[in-house]
Amino acid sequence: MMARFKTLDDIEVHGKRVLLRADLNVPVKDGAVTDATRIERLAPTIEALVANGAKVIVMSHFGRPKGRPDPVFSLRPLIGPLEKAIGGQKVAFAADCIGEEAKRVVAALHPGQVALLENLRFHPGEEANSPEFAQALAELGDIYVDDAFSAAHRAHASIAALAQLLPAAAGKLMEAELDALTAAFETPKRPVLALIGGAKVSTKLDLLKFLIGKVDMLAIGGAMANTLLLAEGKEVGRSLCEHDMTETARQILELAGARSCRLILPEDAVVAPELASGSVTREVAIDGVPQDAMILDIGPKTVAHIGAALEEARTLVWNGPLGAFETPPFDRATTAVAKKVSELTRSGNLLSVAGGGDTAAALVTAGVLDQLSYVSTAGGAYLEWLEGRELPGVAALMAAADR
Ligand code: 3PG
Ligand code: MG
């Protein structure tokens, strides 16, 4: 059983200055937010704090400005989207996250008002987890609330050191993320199926090894499956794959056998001469991939096989698309599997949790983003959780609850 952390229900915030660590690291293009999911999922925490009369001080990193102020990475363009997400309430802005400017803006707040601090990473102390920088932040607040699960894999000052200096609790999004991951992973209904896609075995090595010891069935798609097929001695033509990883891939196959984790690898594939929409595609058995072709999606037999595994499973953990989903028609398998997952989830047969990198984008393409049990806002943090690693942000909240 996982140790518990405090939540908003456990803290008294009326009239208090609440330092809220958010993850406003959202995709922005030409000054406009292109995906506001993280802001929208943060909003209920701000609204709850506002409703309870807190003075809410939102802090976040944005991009990787390397420890000095850089207008390209200013959080200023996020004021509007943040105000919109919390029902049009005004958000004050401090052009520096510590020091006199920040103190001035915070001192002007009345209960129920909200301020946003400039990018934490404009100071080198943030990424260095500096106690002095954490102390400078702590001076701005009475209580610390962490709602940035998607940054919980970073041992940075606003995530780790700060949690030791003030009473600390998880925000509603952090709580939802941890509850969903715990349900899927610590105390799951079995059998558990893990569905892993994406490009490279090398980036998901630890994850695959950890999952093999933890889940009952492991289905692998995406270009990373090509490396495993190569390790099995199959012809993969001109497909994207990692030739220098075949030995490691072989070890993964062996480990699955030893741990009696049922592996589901592609048995057929959609191939084309190149990765381009409108290129001529063919469905081939996995033993019949032509030398001059590329595998760009898993085939219909594999989709059916995964579908059957999904029907058998009670819990699904998903990361990564199964084909080159950004380029139709190579989104077909990912979309078909996503629809099946949504169907089984809605009928109450499956607890489905997805997250990490391109996964949410693939679920949007399939039109089922809101039809899974839970979709994480996290990229790297979700992957590190799937690798069984302790996340500094989560550990800090647990430690704070024990104080
Ligand atoms: C993310 O977007 O994955 C988090 O905000 C962490 O950002 P980082 O990878 O720059 O630390
Ligand atoms: Mg990242």
DSSP assignment of 332-353: HHHHHHHHHHHHHHHTTS-EEE
357 noted as active-site residue: yes
Helix (H, G, I), strand (E, B) or coil at 18: strand
C-alpha 385 – ligand 2 centre gap (Å):
14
pTM of the model: 0.92
189 noted as active-site residue: no
C-beta of residue 135 within 8 angstroms of C-beta of residue 165: yes
In the beta sheet, which residues pair with residue 352? 316
Task: Please report how many Cα atoms fall inside a 13 Å half-sphere around the Cα of residue 285, on the Cβ side.
Answer: 2
307 noted as active-site residue: no
Question: One of 221, 222, 357, 393 is an active-site residue; which one?
Answer: 357
C-alpha 151 – ligand 1 centre gap (Å):
6
Stretch (H or E) spanning 17: strand 17-21
Taking the CA of residue 156 as reference, the ligand 1 atom at the shortest distance is: 11
Neighbours of 246 (CB within 10 A): 18
Question: One of 6, 17, 21, 38 is an active-site residue; which one?
Answer: 38
C-alpha 135 – ligand 1 centre gap (Å):
23
Q: Atom 4 (ligand 1): residue with closest C-alpha?
A: 151
> What per-residue confidence (pLDDT) applies to 1?
40
41 noted as active-site residue: no
Q: Atom 7 (ligand 1): residue with closest C-alpha?
A: 151
What DSSP string runs through 64-95?
A: --TTS--GGG-SGGGHHHHHHHTTT--EEEES
C-alpha 274 – ligand 1 centre gap (Å):
32
C-alpha 380 – ligand 2 centre gap (Å):
5
C-alpha 387 – ligand 2 centre gap (Å):
16
Give me the helix-helix angle, 172-185 and 37-51, nearest 10°.
Answer: 120
Burial class (CB in 10 A: 0-12, 13-18, 19+), 401: middle
Read off the amino acid at residue 310. Answer: L
CA–CA separation, 272 and 279 (whole Å): 6
What helix, strand, coil percent values describe the chain, rounded to 5?
Answer: 45, 15, 40
pLDDT tens, N- to C-terminus, the chain (403 residues): 456 899 999 999 999 999 999 999 999 998 899 999 999 999 999 999 999 999 999 999 999 999 999 999 999 999 999 999 999 999 999 999 999 999 999 999 999 999 999 999 999 999 999 999 999 999 999 999 999 999 999 999 999 999 999 999 999 999 999 999 999 988 899 999 999 999 888 889 889 999 999 999 999 999 999 999 999 999 999 999 999 999 999 999 999 999 999 999 999 999 999 999 888 999 999 999 999 999 999 999 999 999 999 999 999 999 999 999 999 999 999 999 999 999 999 999 999 999 987 899 999 999 999 999 999 999 999 999 999 899 999 999 999 998 8
What DSSP string runs through 271-309?
A: EESSS-TT---EEEEGGG--TT-EEEEE-HHHHHHHHHH
C-alpha 151 – ligand 2 centre gap (Å):
8
Pocket test for ligand 1, best of 34, 41, 61 (most atoms within 8 A of CB): 61
Ligand minimally distant from the alpha carbon of residue 65: 1
Nearest to 196 by CA among 382, 381, 378, 38: 382
Burial 271-294, CB ≥16 within 10 A → b, else e: bbeeeeeeeebeebebeebeeebb
CA–CA separation, 312 and 330 (whole Å): 26
Question: One of 200, 238, 250, 259 is an active-site residue; which one?
Answer: 200
Pocket test for ligand 1, best of 126, 154, 173, 377 (most atoms within 8 A of CB): 154
Q: Which residues surround ligand 2, an ion (CB under 5 A)?
A: 379-380
Question: One of 67, 288, 380, 388 is an active-site residue; which one?
Answer: 380
Ligand minimally distant from the alpha carbon of residue 26: 1
Taking the CA of residue 61 as reference, the ligand 1 atom at the shortest distance is: 5
> What per-residue confidence (pLDDT) applies to 3?
60
Which residues sit with their C-beta closer than 6 Å to ligand 1? Answer: 23, 25, 64, 150-151, 154, 379-380
> What per-residue confidence (pLDDT) applies to 278?
85
Taking the CA of residue 63 as reference, the ligand 1 atom at the shortest distance is: 10
